[in-house]
A and B are shown apart, each in its own frame.
Chain A
C-alpha cells in the first residue's frame, strides 16, 4: 500500500494492521511517529542525539511487540509511546546522574542558514539549556504540554499522575524557565526590558 494513502488512517488502525502482518503499516507508523519520539527523547536527555536515537529505537521496538495484542480503544498509541519514552529516559538519566552538563554533547547543528533559522536555533538551544536545569518531572510536563502539544489528561496518563498535578508542574516549570531566561532577552531576539 502506498504510504501517502495511509495519511488519513489513525495510528491505532495502522498498529492493528501491522499486528496482522501489514508491513506497509509499520513503515507509515515509523515515518509518522519516529520524529516525535526522537524529539521528545532528545529534549528529555539534554539534546544527546545518540542516546535519544537508542531510546527512539527501543520505544518503537516495544510498540512492534505489543501490536499483536493491542486492544482497540484502550489507549492512544502516542500516549502509550510517550510513556515508554518517558520511562526509558528516566532510566538513562538515573544511570547518567553525576555526569556534568558540560559532558553532555551539544545538539547537532545541521542546517539553518537563513537568519530566522539561526534565531530559532539560538532560541531552541537556550530553551534546552534552561529545560535541562529544571527538575525532571517539571521538564517532562513542560515538554509534553508546550513542545509536544499534548493535552493535560494525556500528560497525566503518560506521567501517571492527576491532571491537577500536571497543571501544577507545567505552571511551576514555565515560571522557572521565564526566570532563568530573563537575562537573555537580547540574545533571544526579544526587546530588552
Chain B
C-alpha cells in the first residue's frame, strides 16, 4: 500500500498555529505579579535609602562655579552687595553732581575753565630748541 505523502503545512496554516499560540499564552498569576511588584518596591526603598547620604556627599564634592569662585575672592555675598551699593552710588553722584559735592571739590569738577592737554603733560619743546 502506498503511503500518503505528507504535504508540509503552508504559511497560512503555520500562521494559524502562531496565532493560536499568541491567544493561549500563559497569563501571569496574581502571585507572580505581586512578587515582581514587591521586588520593584524593595528596589525603590533601597534607592531612597542610598540616595540621601550620596546627595550630601555630592554637595561637598561639587566643584564651585565661576560665580561662586569670584564671590569667594571678594568675600562672599555681603561683600558683593557692598560693592554694588558703592557702584550705584558712584554712578548717581557722577550723574547728579550735587552742590555739596561741588563745594567739597572746590569747583574743580564743575568748573567752566577747561584744561588743555599741556596742563597735564610736561613740555619738551625747550629741549628740542636747544638740541
Contact = CB atoms under 8 A, between A and B. Distances in A.
A182 B43 contact: no
Interface of B is mostly: helix
A34 B32 contact: yes
Interface stretch (A18-26, A76-84, A132-140, A160-168): A18-26
Residue among B11, B14, B18, B24 having the largest count of chain A Cβ atoms under 10 Å: B24
A172 interface: no
Given A181-B9, A185-B9, A174 B41 contact: no
B14 A177 contact: yes
For chain A, what secondary structure do more than half of its interface residues adopt (helix, strand, loop), or is it mixed? helix
B21 A128 contact: yes
| Chain A: number of interface residues, binned into ranges | 35 or more
9 contacts: A26-B40, A35-B25, A39-B25, A42-B26, A60-B36, A146-B14, A175-B8, A177-B17, A185-B13
Contact of B14 (A26, A61, A149, A178): A178
Given A64-B43, A67-B43, A182-B6, A42 B25 contact: yes
B21 A174 contact: no
B26 to A, nearest CB: 5
A112 interface: yes
A190 B24 contact: no
B39 A147 contact: no
Interface of A: 18-19, 21, 23, 26-27, 29-31, 34-35, 38-39, 42-43, 49, 52-53, 56-57, 60-61, 64-65, 67-68, 107-108, 110, 112, 117, 119-121, 123-124, 126-128, 146-147, 149, 174-175, 177-179, 181-183, 185, 188, 190, 193
